Structure 1
Amino acid sequence: MHERAGTPATESDLIDVEALVRAYYDLEPDVSIPEQRVVFGTSGHRGSSFNRSFNERHILAITQAIVEYRTAQGVTGPLFIGADTHALSAPAQTTALDVLVANNVRVLTDQYDDYVPTPALSHAILTWNNDPAKRAEGEADGIVITPSHNPPQDGGFKYNPPHGGPADSDATSWIANRANELLADDCREVNQAEPSAVEMFDFRSNYVDDLGSIIDFDAIRESGIRIGADPLGGASVHYWAAIRDTYGIDLTVVNERVDPAWSFMTLDWDGKIRMDPSSPSAMASVLANAEGYDILTGNDADADRHGIVTPDDGLMNPNHYLAVAIEYLYTHRPEWRSDAAIGKTLVSSSMIDRVAESLGRRLWEVPVGFKWFVPGLIDGSVAFGGEESAGASFLRKDGTVWTTDKDGILLCLLASEIRAVTGKSPSQLYAELVERFGDPAYQRTDAAATPAQKAALGRLDGDAIAATELAGEPITAKLSHAPGNDAAIGGVKVQTADAWFAARPSGTEDVYKIYAESFKGPEHLAVVQEEAKRVVDAALG
């Protein structure tokens, strides 16, 4: 923990926004350097113009590659495009529009020249493709320009195909490989033109006006609860006022500032400015405004993550809120399919497993990455999908798809519905879950690893782990593939009756991540973490 974590940012913490944007145009990447190539992680290509990993040429190449990919896939409808409030997002959108228009792609941008949250863009794609008349004009897809909660100097670029969610690895690998080919050829095969033929689309109204199909605003309004919403300077900034005015609820936007340097933020755990609504350090300024609200919420820069603050418990742990949301939704959505599963990533809390069992619902456990939930959300076989990193989405009241990307605005509104309908805060409801199922201790830590060790961990088979016990309990499972869909998890997960750990290599640092949980308390968790490192190190040789 950095000594200044949770304290206000000072002038020395802020980026030079003008220099960052200049570097976007002036600095050129060298594709022979791995760190300067196009690399798609779980949420698109990310980097900074300062270190030549997110520059104009990257966006030229990626956009041309997306054009060629969608053509090869037979996607002929409009492409929705939106950007968040990061400083590099606007210039990246301008670059992308140049390429899209030159390739005769029908492009729809925000009619207010406003920021576009990730869930609003996913919603737009799905709404178009679910309308037979619109679909007859061709399937739609989209581009979201955001590095999510990453620091202000970063940029991000993500492709959402016609299913509306994050592209799968087959698509992203093809796009990244083609983009790097274009970069290596000095972008000579990239088409560019002035973006004159661009259509306007009202992302905000289309999203906000449809929220009544998934959230019980009547209950919220009639309860009279006071709600505070902090966009954390992100893309949801104008959406919250629209939600208030549309549904007549008592909601205050506690911070309407947009500043690409994020000078109003408090520093995250490592001393960096990071718009993570699940981090107590990053949310310290929000917590200072908690008095007087029954529910106070925060979102990250593209509003795909949520943070829930209650008067009785402060900022909720994301795992705790996911468990409460699942318990509430599956008992308050009678039109959902009776066999609709509960989706969770395998590093999310086992409290969810116990809630699922008590509900008589199938648990669908998948690797890290929201893309795995997409098919189930579309066909209704998975009614809720959630990640431990405060990202989730769920179905409409009638059991049909809402978004296939994470929706932080939705999960924040759900907290108010829960409070209005039950008369209890989500944190009070979690305390009741603890009384029924036990009180798990959960933590993520990092352990040093060489690039070779990280590669070996990513390929590790559960059977290669020789241990038979973990922290005094017999090991019941050694997993290298997720139970829900048998997809490789890029690491291992080891389980006992009361504890588990998962180890995965970091995509950006020379470490591997250890997620661990114990229903026997913090001291037992510490033993689990210690033994987890020994088990993994032994398996890696």
Structure 2
Amino acid sequence: MELSSVVVQTTPFDGQKPGTSGLRKKVKVFMEKHYTENFVQSIFNALGDKVKGSTLVVGGDGRYFSKQATNIIIRIASANGVGKLIIGHLGILSTPAVSCIIRRRNVLGGIVMTASHNPGGIQHDFGIKYNIENGGPAPDSVTDAIYEHTKIITEYKTTPALETDRLIDVLGSTTYKVDGRDFVVEVIDPTIDYVGLMKEIFNFPKLRDLIRGTEKRPQFHVLIDSMNGVTGVYVRRIFVEELGASPDHNVRRIVPLDNFGEIHPDPNLTYAKDLVDTVKANLQYNLGAAFDGDGDRNMIIGKDAFFVTPSDSLAVLANNLDCIPYFQKHGVHGFARSMPTAAAVDRVAEKLGKEMFEVPTGWKYFGNLMDAGRLSLCGEESFGTGSDHLREKDGIWAVLAWLSVIEHKNMSVEDILKEHWKIYGRNYFTRYDYEECDSDAANLMMHHLGQLLASKDIVGKSFASSGKSYTVRKADNFSYEDPIDNSVTKNQGVRILFEDGSRLIYRLSGTGSSGATIRVYIDSYEKENILADAQDMLKPLVEIGLQISQLKKFTGREAPTVIT
């Protein structure tokens, strides 16, 4: 059947500016007439002639509105001259899997339907982002171009007669004739490429022996929680089918739901409390892990729910990469962290003689360093860890890496951390999130902090609380010059740096869909006192941070929504 595309007249929508990882809004915004179509067409407009005859990957975390958005993308792609779409079965692809498929199949890029760790369902959030040919999130130059097109768009192209409702329900390829051209839709098993890559990186037989136990080694009990997100299909395939974990006792919430079962799919101590409580109540579990909605974030806890901060997780993995076959083969070229992330990995880099990079928040900033061969492992304090095997953070990879370290060292999670702190000292770290604040109030607070920086009076000033005193060594708004392409990214967060190495950082998050999220990061390094309670150790600095920012005065908030 010969199909013809049509041109639909439209007008721009305000505010279609991609944030840190794409465009995120409430589902009902994306459901407005022409809204999703405008943004998808703007992606193709920004790509220009490259899209003609190209192959793109499409998939997402399965949240509400994913199927409708997939249908829109298929029709618009066909009308814009795309040659082929590779789509996960039922529209399911984790964000790391999208990156994997782009890289392994050498395609132009991918469109990812996700709002990551944000809640799902008709009352909550949806998102769309574009990943480029290296598999990573689009850089600022591309997202800025997409945004400019959203402001001037007057029409979009689509193929309305292309029947898509059941297309993604069946594995296999379908070829259509659209405007005289072949247009192919290939629906794939979402796990094949990704699992193949994981088996190249890790020693699966050793990990299976760890989880199942051997005559010489007792079973290592894990509890893996997909939080009703996209990783469920990968957890079943890897942990149950490949590594022999019990589907009844070692994994939970592995069926992806479009509303995530009405939970917040964010793997932290607040939103993954159910996992934490289960591991704490059942001492047979040696490790617990949780993932977010699209599978790029992870949380690690040990026996009795011993919590591993993302900053410490990054540092421990950096110190033990030699036990993973991938790094034995490819070597270790450098480490990086986002600016707000505690500096624990910096000390590992120094000891091992590796390059160390501090970048703005957003995984896209690691991509250039990886592509240039200068970065092997990186992470963010927001529960993201990954390596140069992909250009996205990767939750399942992080858990497999931790299991590899545990198998190699034959130690518990807690003992591995204590050994690490004894060698390197400990960065006590916490993050206070104030979600859905009034945007004007949040901006006023950041303006207040900007005025403090401009006055320069804060440098050299001392602040005291709970018997501890801190003197400001430096205060700035973080900027970053990419050492590969020399691009400059400014205004990435207000930093208050103290003489003892402690830090306060204030940022407005770019990952929410409404209002403003204020994040306050508190980081303090201790060389000797490494086994104290983190919240007790950080309490004075927390109080000083609230005093400096006057957060309560500006926002009216008595307490954070989430403490990490």
Q: Give the structure-2-normalised TM-score.
A: 0.76
* Paired-residue identity, %: 23
User: 2-side partners of 1:378 and 1:306: how far apart?
Assistant: 24
Which residue of structure 2 aligns with residue 218 of structure 1?
A: 205
Which residue of structure 1 aligns with residue 158 of structure 2?
A: 191
Q: How far is the alpha carbon of 1:155 from its aligned partner? A: 0.7
Which residue of structure 1 aligns with residue 356 of structure 2?
A: 363
2:523 counterpart (476, 500, 517): 517
8 Å Cα contact 1:392-1:406 kept in structure 2: yes
Match status 1:82 vs 2:59: yes
Aligned amino acid, residue 142 of structure 1? G
Q: How far is the alpha carbon of 1:261 from its aligned partner? A: 3.2
Secondary structure in 1 aligned to 2:34? helix
Which residue of structure 2 aligns with residue 503 of structure 1?
A: 506
Deviation string 1:171-207 (CA, Å, 9 cap, x unpaired) is 112212312433xx4xx33434325542233441111
Match status 1:310 vs 2:297: no
Larger Rg: 2
1:240 counterpart (220, 235, 238): 235
Distance change >3 Å, CA 347–CA 435, structure 1 → 2: same
Secondary structure in 1 aligned to 2:231? coil
Deviation string 1:112-164 (CA, Å, 9 cap, x unpaired) is 335110101101111122xxxxxxxxx42100101111112211111001121
Distance change >3 Å, CA 437–CA 172, structure 1 → 2: same
Match status 1:481 vs 2:443: no
Which residue of structure 1 aligns with residue 286 of structure 2?
A: 294
Secondary structure in 1 aligned to 2:416? helix
8 Å Cα contact 1:458-1:504 kept in structure 2: no
8 Å Cα contact 1:82-1:145 kept in structure 2: yes
1:167 counterpart (138, 141, 147): 138
8 Å Cα contact 1:46-1:157 kept in structure 2: yes
Which residue of structure 2 aligns with residue 136 of structure 1?
A: none
User: 2-side partners of 1:460 and 1:141: how far apart?
Assistant: 42
Match status 1:46 vs 2:24: yes
User: 2-side partners of 1:462 and 1:518: how far apart?
Assistant: 21
User: 1-side partners of 2:91 and 2:450: how far apart?
Assistant: 43
Written as runs of structure 1 = structure 2, the 5 A alignment for 1:114-263 is 115-129=92-106, 139-152=107-120, 153-182=124-153, 185=154, 188-193=155-160, 194=162, 195=164, 196=176, 197=183, 198-223=185-210, 224=213, 225-244=220-239, 247-250=242-245, 252=247, 253-263=251-261
Which residue of structure 2 aligns with residue 280 of structure 1?
A: 269
Which residue of structure 2 aligns with residue 329 of structure 1?
A: 321
User: 1-side partners of 2:538 and 2:130: how far apart?
Assistant: 38
Q: How far is the alpha carbon of 1:286 from its aligned partner? A: 2.4
8 Å Cα contact 1:58-1:179 kept in structure 2: no
Secondary structure in 2 aligned to 1:164? coil
Aligned amino acid, residue 328 of structure 1? N
Aligned amino acid, residue 201 of structure 1? I
Aligned amino acid, residue 538 of structure 2? L
Which residue of structure 2 aligns with residue 10 of structure 1?
A: none
Which residue of structure 1 aligns with residue 84 of structure 2?
A: 107
Match status 1:413 vs 2:400: yes
8 Å Cα contact 2:299-2:308 kept in structure 1: yes
User: 1-side partners of 2:11 and 2:306: how far apart?
Assistant: 46
User: 2-side partners of 1:506 and 1:406: how far apart?
Assistant: 18
User: 2-side partners of 1:459 and 1:405: how far apart?
Assistant: 32
Which residue of structure 1 aligns with residue 170 of structure 2?
A: none
RMSD across aligned positions (CA)? 3.2
Which residue of structure 2 aligns with residue 9 of structure 1?
A: none
8 Å Cα contact 2:472-2:497 kept in structure 1: yes
User: 2-side partners of 1:42 and 1:325: how far apart?
Assistant: 25
- Listed as ranges, the gaps of 5+ residues in structure 2 are 1-9, 165-175, 177-182, 214-219, 464-468, 483-487, 527-533, 555-564
Q: How far is the alpha carbon of 1:234 from its aligned partner? A: 1.2
Distance change >3 Å, CA 523–CA 247, structure 1 → 2: closer
User: 1-side partners of 2:471 and 2:287: how far apart?
Assistant: 42
8 Å Cα contact 1:343-1:384 kept in structure 2: yes
Distance change >3 Å, CA 492–CA 470, structure 1 → 2: farther
Aligned amino acid, residue 157 of structure 1? I
